[in-house]
Amino acid sequence: MKPFSVLLSALAFSMASSTLMAKEISLPIPSATLPNVSPANSPLANRGAYVARTADCMACHREDYSGGVAIETPIGNIYSTNITPSKRYGIGNYTEADFTKALRKGRAPGYQLYPAMPYPSYHGMTDDDISALFAYFQTVPVVDKPPEKTTKLPFPLNIRSLMLAWNVINVPSTENREGLTQTQQRGEYLVNNLEHCGTCHTPRNLTQGLDKDKYLSGALLGKWYAPNITPDNDSGIGRWNEQDISIYLRTGKLDKRAYAGGPMGEAVAHSTRYLTDEDLIAIADYLKVIPAIKTDDYLIPVHVSRLPRPASDSITYNLLEQKDYLAQAKANTSINSNSSSSKALYLAVCASCHGVDGYAQPDARYASIVGLTSIRRAKPDALINVIAYGAKGALNTAPKMPGFSKELTHAQIASIANYVRVSFGGLPNSDVSATDVKRILK
Ligand code: HEC
Ligand code: HEC
Ligand code: HEC
């Protein structure tokens, strides 16, 4: 066994053997193989490679850490930097103390970072994890060039020391809970400090810090909506069991329930699919014990009896048969109704990828949309945004979903949304209007 796997199994063993690990769950799908781990590197550096995954540094600094990714913030785009050990363009001159300060306090040598770098979350990282990360970053291949884009904010936002006052109110961004089991404490550490789930799922307060009273209860994220992940049964994920949560974090999907097509797809692709079973279960275990917060964006439960059945397996899987079936459906629909009817629109615009019955083409890796949470919310915002702006698909190789904001009118988007919600979401009715679409897309 390689040193790293020895280490991981030691870690797994110490967790599994803990008496507090009440439930024996093991996940049906194994974790992705960790890249950047090599027997040539020290065990500490190899452990750091795993910590980097759990902290999702790659989502912002890129898989090669060369930086230049725009983080959209209310004050403008902030670009991530090169954090390879390049002495000229990266962090090659950092000492471990400098690195620790950057992670915990947002203090780079000589200047203050903006909280687009999630130091309010990394504030709680343990010394051991930071040492491992530091050792790992010494092994990362150098990228000897500056990022393509760098941050340029107008005065006075370019005065970085203004962040010092902000830090007093907003760092750390979370508090530790009392009375947790050892597994749940590990979950809390992962959720709050490493994975920084709250930077997307917790709404912001007036100063743009995380609103602790609304912890993980859902937040708008540009064109996406990060849903409520507290254990509330109606508006959160209270109906998901621990295995559901873990499988979603490992694969980015849950059959007939949820699909990570946007920013969550990225989080899964860069980070959570690499996590050990133990760590995913710890996250799930912790998410079950945080306070449930009810919001008005509740989920309409799936009525399985109202969901369509796949016409037949061979139609779902055989692309030629599916094509014929679609042609047939289109012919029938245009005979029986006028061409602006919602079904005809769906068939014309969406069905070539998602299928007549919403079950898509698993072999071509298009997502089934039957029963997804994104089409069963009281607020249609998430669905409208997907139709208007498309979905990138961090997790698969299928051609991405294009946005239709230019081709379709607001009324047509509303009409398709209603069709999808009722036919594939199993909702009793849906009355999204052109005005709603206009408001959502502002
Ligand atoms: C959510 C996005 C995001 C994540 C995740 C993230 N960073 Fe950053 N990081 C940034 C941004 C943006 C900057 C530049 C901030 C600025 O210009 O004020 C930055 C800056 C830095 C710096 C200062 C670099 C310099 O130029 O001196 C270091 C060091 C750093 N990040 C390390 C990390 C490490 C290590 C991780 C993972 C543990 C990580 N970052 C995760 C967005 C991120
Ligand atoms: C970069 C922002 C971001 C981060 C970080 C993030 N999420 Fe998400 N999450 C989203 C968005 C947006 C969605 C909606 C689906 C999508 O866009 O892919 C989502 C969906 C989910 C869902 C599905 C909920 C439902 O009702 O369908 C769960 C569960 C979830 N996230 C848990 C987590 C956990 C746990 C973490 C930390 C390990 C995390 N997320 C980190 C943005 C994020
Ligand atoms: C070119 C093929 C294509 C077309 C056309 C298309 N989609 Fe998609 N759609 C995709 C892909 C691919 C994904 C999943 C993204 C991924 O793989 O991560 C997706 C994802 C979705 C999702 C799930 C998003 C989520 O995060 O829950 C919904 C809902 C959806 N599409 C609805 C529609 C509707 C409605 C239309 C018609 C207006 C449509 N799609 C047209 C390819 C397509």
Query: Pocket of ligand 2, candidates 191, 220, 243, 264: which has the most ligand atoms within 8 Å of its Cβ, to mutate?
Result: 264
Instruction: Check whether 407 has a pLDDT greater than 50.
Output: yes
pLDDT score at 131: 98
pLDDT at 5: 44
Kindly give the distance from the C-alpha atom of residue 23 to the centroid of ligand 2, in angstroms, as a whole number: 24
pLDDT at site 323 = 84
The Cα–Cα gap between 55 and 24 comes to 26
pLDDT at 15: 41
CA-based nearest residue to 67, from 129, 4, 113: 113
* Ligand 2 pocket test target in 54, 192, 200, 298 with most atoms within 8 Å of CB: 200
Report CA(284)–ligand 3 centroid distance (Å). Answer: 27
pLDDT band of 312, cuts 50, 70, 90: confident
pLDDT at residue 1 greater than cutoff 70: no
Hunting for tokens 């275990």 — which residue is that?
Answer: 285
pLDDT over 60 at 17, yes or no: no
pTM surpassing 0.85?
yes
Would you state the pLDDT for residue 10?
40
Distance, CA 81 to ligand 1 centroid (Å)?
6
Q: Which residues have CB under 8 Å from 175's CB, separation 6+?
A: 212
Question: d(Cα 406, Cα 402) in Å, to the nearest integer?
Answer: 11
Q: What pLDDT is recorded for position 397? A: 62
Rounded alpha-carbon distances, angstroms, from residue 93 to 97, 109, 120, 370: 11, 10, 24, 52
Alpha-carbon torsion, ordered 406, 411, 416, 417, to 10 deg: 100
Task: State the distance from the centre of ligand 1 to the C-alpha of 116, rounded, in angstroms.
Answer: 8
d(CA 234, CA 299): 6
* pLDDT-based confidence at residue 18 (cuts at 50, 70, 90): very low
Query: Over the range 378-414, which residues count as b (16 or more CB within 10 Å of their CB) and which as e?
Result: ebbbbbbbbbbbbbebbbbeeeebebbbeebebebbb
The predicted structure's pLDDT at residue 363: 66
Distance, CA of 191 to CA of 173 (rounded, Å): 12
pLDDT-based confidence at 73, cuts 50/70/90? confident
Ligand 2-lining residues (CB < 6 angstroms):
191, 195, 197, 199-201, 221, 224, 226-227, 229, 237, 245, 248, 258, 260-265, 267, 272, 283, 373
What digits encode the pLDDT tens for the residues 323-344? Answer: 888 888 888 886 555 545 899 9
pLDDT value at position 365? Answer: 67
Mean pLDDT of the chain: 89
How far is the centre of ligand 3, averaged over its atoms, from the C-alpha of 383 (Å)?
10
Query: Could you tell me which residue, 198 or 258, shows the higher pLDDT?
Result: 198
Least confident of 90-94, 364-368, 399-403: 364-368
> Which helix (H) or strand (E) covers residue 129, if one does?
helix 127-137
Ligand 3: centre distance to CA 354 (Å): 7
pLDDT tens track for 91-122: 999 999 999 999 999 999 999 999 999 999 99
In this predicted structure, what is the pLDDT of residue 104? 97
Average pLDDT over residues 298-327: 81
Ligand 3 atom with least separation from CA of 416: 35
- Average pLDDT over every residue of 53-67: 96
Check residue 307 and report its DSSP letter. Answer: S
The band of 366, judged by pLDDT with boundaries at 50, 70 and 90, is confident
Tens digit of pLDDT for each residue in 415-440? 999 999 999 999 989 999 999 999 99
Tokens of residue 306, six digits: 């109202």
Share of the chain above pLDDT 90, in %: 65
pLDDT band for 11, please (50, 70, 90 cuts).
very low
Q: According to the model, what pLDDT value does residue 14 have?
A: 40
What's the whole-number mean pLDDT along residues 48-77?
95
Res. 411: pLDDT tops 90: yes
322 versus 344: which is more confidently predicted? 344
* Contact call for residues 188 and 286 (beta carbons, < 8 A): yes
